[in-house]
Chains A and B, each alone.
Chain A
Amino acid sequence: DQQVKQNSPSLSVQEGRISILNCDYTNSMFDYFLWYKKYPAEGPTFLISISSIKDKNEDGRFTVFLNKSAKHLSLHIVPSQPGDSAVYFCAASAKLGGTSYGKLTFGQGTILTVHP
């Protein structure tokens, strides 16, 4: 049962344009969401996160939007750069008993290619 889904395996964008990566989740207990970026032959690295009490979080060129009613989040990259070409993973976490829960559930990943 895939609780976090990234339905687009790949996305191709021109340099300077906006990249929009999407993620859907099914578990209503998820209350914290993260995006990780992965280059070939490297481990994933943390990019940006958002708590369920917010609907938007921005960090430079990266903005994450959360729509709790639709159980959907998206990552916007503006403007896109060739160096952004990587695999992007969406991840979610659920609190357990009021305390933080260390486990992250990841999606399948989306390969982003930004063309010069």
Chain B
Amino acid sequence: DAGVIQSPRHEVTEMGQEVTLRCKPISGHDYLFWYRQTMMRGLELLIYFNNNVPIDDSGMPEDRFSAKMPNASFSTLKIQPSEPRDSAVYFCASSAYPQGRAVNTIYFGEGSWLTVV
């Protein structure tokens, strides 16, 4: 079974440009997460969805960031306009409702490396 698929793997863009990151979760998973990894803060949760509905977006840095999940197999994270401080690795992850277990095991994609110059 395919894992979480992210695109693009690498993106270099100029400050002020719009950036769109894409994610296809594991089939059957009903949770989808967007994380950002930086050296200073490690893995930060930006937003997560349950059954395509945004549940918690308190980690989204500011209005320049937006995320959508139009259906169970696709999500986007958009940054407009992008700034150099947005440079980071952005991970998408998905999980299934634990069904009696204590907590979900989250499966990560390989990440999208964003550089804003």
Residues of A that sit less than 8 Å from B by CB: 2, 6, 31-32, 34, 36, 41-46, 49, 51, 89, 91, 93, 100-109
Give the nearest-CB partner of B56 in chain A. A103
A108–B43 Cα gap in the complex (Å)? 6
Contacts of A104 in B (CB 8 A): 33, 45, 103-104, 106
Q: Is the beta-carbon distance between B4 and A49 smaller than 8 angstroms?
A: no
Contacts of A44 in B (CB 8 A): 43, 91, 108
Contacts of B43 in A (CB 8 A): 44, 89, 91, 106-107, 109
Q: Is the beta-carbon distance between A102 and B50 smaller than 8 angstroms?
A: yes
Residues of B that sit less than 8 Å from A by CB: 4, 31, 33, 35, 39-45, 48, 50, 55-56, 91, 93, 95, 97-98, 101-111
Given known A93-B103, A107-B42, contact A42–B98 (CB-CB < 8 A)? no
A80–B48 Cα gap in the complex (Å)? 35
Give the nearest-CB partner of B41 in chain A. A108
A-B contact list, 28 entries, CB within 8 Å:
A32-B102, A34-B105, A43-B4, A43-B109, A43-B110, A43-B111, A44-B43, A46-B107, A49-B103, A51-B102, A93-B103, A100-B97, A100-B101, A102-B31, A102-B48, A102-B50, A102-B97, A103-B48, A103-B56, A104-B45, A104-B103, A105-B45, A106-B42, A106-B45, A107-B42, A108-B41, A108-B42, A109-B43
Q: Is the beta-carbon distance between B41 and A2 smaller than 8 angstroms?
A: yes
Q: Is the beta-carbon distance between A43 and B41 smaller than 8 angstroms?
A: no
Contacts of B40 in A (CB 8 A): 108
Give the nearest-CB partner of B111 in chain A. A43
Given known A43-B108, A44-B91, A108-B41, contact A100–B102 (CB-CB < 8 A)? yes
A32–B42 Cα gap in the complex (Å)? 19
